[in-house]
C-alpha cells in the first residue's frame, strides 16, 4: 500500500498540474491570444483560387455580400436607454444557398451570463499592467464596481421581435454575442431577403464597463455624453475563406462586417447635438439658421469654423430640454455606423480638399465638451485633415463626405466609418520646484493650460484612429479573424 501511494502521489501531482494548465490554455484560446505552433500554412499563405489570386487581389469570380440598413432609434436620457426598429436588406452574392444567417450582437458581451464575464480573470478586470504592479490580494473599488455592473442592471439586447417583410415572425436563436435567424425559404445565390428587428438595451456607464460605447456622466452639472458603437444587431460577414464569421465577441477582438447603405433616424433631446457616420440630411430641422450658415461657411474654410461655440455649449448644458428632435443621417457603402449625442458638445469644422474627382472635398469635424478646451479646438480638426492628406497620398483618396473626431473618454480611442472616438483632455497644472531650484508645471492643480503629454497624446490618438478609417474600415480586413 505504501509502495502504491509512493507512485500515486507524484502521478496525482502531475495530473493536477496538467489540468490547471489545460484550463488556463482553454481560457487563453477563448480569449483569442493562443497561437498554434503547428497550424496549417494555408492560414497565413492561402492557396490561390478563382476568388482570390496569390497576391491577395480579387480573382475572376470574387464576390462579397451586402447588407443595407434602415434604423429608427430613440435615446431615453432619463432611463439611459435606447430602443430601435431596424430593417435589413441582405443580398446573397455568394454562389452558395444559405439556410440561415448570423448577426453580431456585441452588446450581449455585458450580460451577466456572457462568455466574456464567465472567462474574465482578475488580470482582465484591472488590466495587465496594473495587475503586475499592484498587491494581488487587493482589488480596487473600480474593479469591484466593474464586476458588480451586470448584477445591478440587466445589460445586453432585449429582442422584442424578428419578422420577415410580411410581418411574420422568424425563428431565431441567440448564442451569446451572436444570433442565428433561420430562413423561411433557402436564400439562393443572387437572391435578396428583407427582415426587421425591434430591440432595446440599457446604456453602459463606460468607465465601469471598459466598453467601446456607453455614456459619461459629468457630476458637477449633471450632464452626459452618449457615444453608441457596436450598438445594433449587425449582419455577420460571410466570406469565401471562412464561411460565416461567427466567432464570439469577448471585448479584445475587433470585427468585420458587410458593406451597405445606411439610413438612420436618431431621436434625442431637443438641446442635444448629434455626430454620426454619414451626412446629415435634415439640417433645416435640427440646426438654427445661424448654425446652418456657419456649417456652409466651414465647407470653404481652411481653418476650423465654430458651428456650436463654447458659450452656446455652456448655455445648452443649462437647458435640460423636455422636447425632442430627430436627426437623419445617410451613409453609402460603409461597413458600420456609430453616433454620439450630448447637450455639452462644442462643434467645429473645416474642409479638406483632395485630388479626387469623385470626392474632392471632405468635411472634417470635431465634437467635444467644454472640459476638453483649449486643446481640442486647437488641434483636433487640424489633425484629422493632416491624417487624411498623408494617408491618401500613400494609399487612396478618402471616399466619404465627412471625417469626425469626438471626445468621449479620457484616454485611448476607437474608430468607426467616418467617426473616431478619442480621449485626452487638459488636466490642471501647478508649479513645482525641483532639487535644482527650477520651476516647472506639473499636473493636478487649477490652471487653464495643458501638458505636452495631453497635446501630443491627442494628436497621436487622432492620427491613429483616423488612420484606421483606411485600414480596416475601408479595406475591410477581418479583425475578428486576425486580431
pLDDT range class, residue 433, cuts 50, 70, 90: low
- CATH 2.60.40 segments of the chain: 63-203+231-252
pLDDT exceeds 60 at position 195:
yes
pLDDT value of position 328? 99
**pLDDT tens figures, 28-69:** 334 455 567 787 777 677 789 999 998 888 999 999 999 999
Mean pLDDT within 139-148:
66
% of residues, the chain, pLDDT over 70: 80
% of residues, the chain, pLDDT over 90: 67
Burial class (CB within 10 angstroms; exposed 0-12, middle 13-18, buried 19+) of 465:
buried
pLDDT range class, residue 9, cuts 50, 70, 90: very low
pLDDT exceeds 60 at position 427:
yes
Mean pLDDT within 432-441:
56
CB-based burial, 379-390: b 16+ in 10 Å, e otherwise: bbbbbbbbbbee
Task: Name the least confident of 187-196, 335-344, 407-416.
Answer: 407-416
User: DSSP label at 452?
Assistant: H
CA angle, corner 89, sides to 88 and 92, nearest 5? 130
Q: Which residue has the higher pLDDT, 291 or 11?
A: 291
pLDDT value of position 38? 80
d(CA 406, CA 325): 20
- What Rg value do the Cα atoms of the chain yield, rounded? 25
Nearest residue to 232 (alpha-carbon basis) of 102, 340, 79, 83: 83
Nearest residue to 383 (alpha-carbon basis) of 306, 304, 307, 452: 304
H or E, element range at 358:
none
pLDDT value of position 241? 87
d(CA 412, CA 458): 9
d(CA 90, CA 310): 43
pLDDT exceeds 50 at position 319:
yes
Is the separation of the CB atoms in 87 and 196 below 8 Å? yes
User: DSSP label at 370?
Assistant: G
pLDDT value of position 149? 67
Is the separation of the CB atoms in 327 and 265 below 8 Å? yes
Q: What is the residue whose three cell numbers read 443580398?
A: 91
Domain 63-203+231-252 has CATH 2.40.160: no
Mean pLDDT within 138-144:
66
pLDDT value of position 114? 77
**pLDDT tens figures, 463-481:** 999 999 999 999 998 887 7
CB-based burial, 307-341: b 16+ in 10 Å, e otherwise: bbbbebbeebbeeeeeeebebbbebeebbbbbbbb
Mean pLDDT within 182-205:
97
> What is 259-483's CATH topology?
Zincin-like (3.30.2010)
pLDDT exceeds 60 at position 127:
no
pLDDT value of position 272? 98
- CATH 3.30.2010.30 segments of the chain: 259-483
Q: Give the C-alpha distances (Å, rounded to integers) separating 454 from 154, 279, 345, 461.
A: 36, 30, 20, 10
Mean pLDDT within 261-265:
99
Q: Which three cell numbers stand for residue 104?
A: 453580431
Distance of CA 478 to the CA centre of its chain: 15
pLDDT exceeds 90 at position 139:
no
Amino acid at each position: 500500500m505504501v509502495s502504491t501511494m509512493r507512485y500515486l502521489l507524484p502521478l496525482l501531482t502531475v495530473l493536477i498540474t496538467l489540468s490547471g494548465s489545460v484550463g488556463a490554455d482553454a481560457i487563453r484560446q477563448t480569449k483569442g491570444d493562443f497561437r498554434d505552433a503547428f497550424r496549417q500554412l494555408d492560414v497565413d499563405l492561402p492557396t490561390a483560387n478563382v476568388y482570390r489570386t496569390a497576391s491577395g487581389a480579387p480573382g475572376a469570380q470574387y464576390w462579397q455580400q451586402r447588407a443595407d440598413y434602415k434604423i429608427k432609434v430613440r435615446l431615453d436620457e432619463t432611463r439611459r436607454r435606447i430602443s430601435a426598429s431596424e430593417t435589413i436588406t441582405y443580398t446573397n452574392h455568394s454562389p452558395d444557398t444559405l439556410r440561415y444567417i448570423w448577426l453580431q450582437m456585441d452588446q450581449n458581451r455585458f450580460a451577466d451570463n456572457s462568455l466574456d464575464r464567465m472567462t474574465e480573470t482578475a488580470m482582465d478586470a484591472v488590466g495587465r499592467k496594473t495587475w503586475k504592479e499592484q498587491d494581488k490580494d487587493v482589488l480596487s473599488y473600480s474593479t469591484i464596481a466593474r464586476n458588480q455592473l451586470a448584477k445591478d442592471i440587466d445589460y445586453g439586447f432585449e429582442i422584442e421581435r424578428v419578422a420577415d417583410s410580411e410581418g411574420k415572425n422568424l425563428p431565431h436563436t441567440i448564442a451569446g454575442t451572436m444570433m442565428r435567424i433561420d430562413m423561411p425559404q433557402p436564400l439562393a445565390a443572387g437572391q435578396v431577403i428583407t427582415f426587421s428587428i425591434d430591440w432595446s438595451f440599457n446604456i453602459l456607464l463606460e468607465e465601469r464597463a471598459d466598453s467601446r460605447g456607453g455614456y459619461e456622466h459629468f457630476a458637477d452639472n449633471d450632464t452626459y455624453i452618449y457615444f453608441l458603437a457596436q450598438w445594433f444587431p449587425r449582419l455577420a460577414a460571410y466570406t469565401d475563406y471562412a464561411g460565416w464569421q461567427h466567432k464570439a465577441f469577448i471585448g479584445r477582438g475587433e470585427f468585420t462586417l458587410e458593406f451597405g447603405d445606411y439610413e438612420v433616424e436618431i431621436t434625442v433631446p431637443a438641446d442635444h447635438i448629434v455626430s454620426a457616420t454619414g451626412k446629415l440630411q435634415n439640417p433645416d430641422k435640427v440646426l438654427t439658421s445661424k448654425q446652418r450658415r456657419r456649417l456652409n461657411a466651414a465647407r470653404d474654410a481652411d481653418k476650423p469654423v465654430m458651428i456650436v461655440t463654447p458659450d452656446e455649449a455652456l448655455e445648452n448644458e443649462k437647458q435640460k430640454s423636455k422636447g425632442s428632435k430627430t436627426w437623419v443621417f445617410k451613409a453609402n457603402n460603409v461597413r458600420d455606423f456609430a453616433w454620439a449625442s450630448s447637450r455639452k458638445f462644442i462643434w467645429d469644422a473645416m474642409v479638406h480638399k483632395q485630388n479626387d474627382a469623385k470626392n474632392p472635398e471632405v468635411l472634417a469635424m470635431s465634437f467635444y465638451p467644454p472640459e476638453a478646451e483649449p486643446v481640442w479646438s486647437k488641434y483636433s480638426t487640424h489633425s484629422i485633415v493632416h491624417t487624411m492628406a498623408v494617408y491618401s497620398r500613400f494609399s487612396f483618396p478618402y471616399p466619404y463626405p465627412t471625417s469626425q473626431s469626438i471626445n468621449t473618454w479620457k484616454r485611448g480611442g476607437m474608430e468607426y466609418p467616418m467617426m473616431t472616438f478619442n480621449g485626452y483632455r487638459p488636466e490642471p497644472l501647478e508649479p513645482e520646484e525641483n532639487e535644482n531650484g527650477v520651476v516647472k508645471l506639473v499636473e493636478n492643480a487649477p490652471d487653464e493650460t495643458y501638458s505636452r503629454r495631453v497635446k501630443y497624446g491627442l494628436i497621436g490618438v487622432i492620427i491613429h484612429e483616423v488612420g484606421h478609417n483606411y485600414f480596416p474600415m475601408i479595406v475591410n480586413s477581418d479583425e475578428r479573424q486576425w486580431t
